[in-house]
Amino acid sequence: MKKFGIVIHGGAGTITKATMTPEKEKAYMEALEKAIETGYAVLEKNGSSLDAVESAVLCLENIPLFNAGKGAVLTHDKKYEMDASIMNGKTLEAGAIAGVRNIKNPVKLARAVMEKSEFVMLAGTDAQEFAKANNIEIESDEYFYTKERYDQLLKAIETGRSFLDHTVFEEKKLGTVGAVALDMNGDLAAATSTGGMTNKRYGRVGDTPLIGSGTYANNKTCAVSCTGSGEYFIRAVAAYDVSAQIEYGGKSLREACEALIHKRLKDINGDGGLIAINTNCEIDMSFNSEGMYRGYRTSDKEMEVKIYG
């Protein structure tokens, strides 16, 4: 039997055991396990890596612990603006959406862009029209509301700053979610989704919907999904950089990921992490922050879920 597997993340940042309650830790662990199980079940039935990453990310979008979908943070105007992307490593086809509102599962819309349009990225209100035309589920603002996110916005407005924070303002938690997978056919895929920054303004877009920055997949090399300070991942063209190091530099997956996270990003003061998998079912979950919500399961490795460094 050919190897297959899935890796997921739920954000990176200043995540320490000292600041985590047992109840919260349990909730995060269970959420990550659920997403892995969802994606792995697709692969186990000889499903595609695309279906697996979409299913895993959709699962995380539906859990308000994470800054994606239902748990998305609020903009300065008290709106929910979400970004997502997905990429097929076999064909290099990709789909992405930026700054969309009221889309229940942004990853579904990103895939629709890839498969049902001639484009790679759609943004804003016109992307929502495309969603309606393709029967992508729409939700009211009330669906996305959580008191925790609203309180975060009020604190951010007080300080006059925008925050990438995942939950607590005293701690930096970068809440993007993502998944990468290898299926039984040897095909790779990656998907990433986020609610962006608390108190963001002027239509700011981070790395998540940018193919090559936050998401990349190529059967020749690897599949990558990033989480962190988006502006730095954009400048580093982070996800593609890992692939390029492998394709043109002859590096292993581990070497490429560690060079990107611990050298290239650090050199420009960027923080965060990534998940990656290649066609040998080797995986990597490098990060330069104190923690990253992450986990994996492969055909030859039992499920493992981690939070701290």
Active-site residue list: 176
Pairing between β-strand 94-100 and β-strand 121-123 as defined by DSSP bridges: parallel
- Cα(77)–Cα(53) distance, integer angstroms: 31
Residue in 245, 223, 142 with CA at minimum distance from that of residue 179: 223
Exposure class string for 46-63: b at 16+ Cβ within 10 A, else e? ebbbbbbbbbbbbbbbbb
| Residue 269 backbone dihedrals phi, psi, to 5 degrees | 65, 30
Q: What 3-state class would DSSP assign to 168?
A: coil
Contact residues for 109 (Cβ-Cβ < 8 A; gap 6+): 84, 97, 100, 103, 127, 130, 131, 134, 136
Residues in the chain: 309
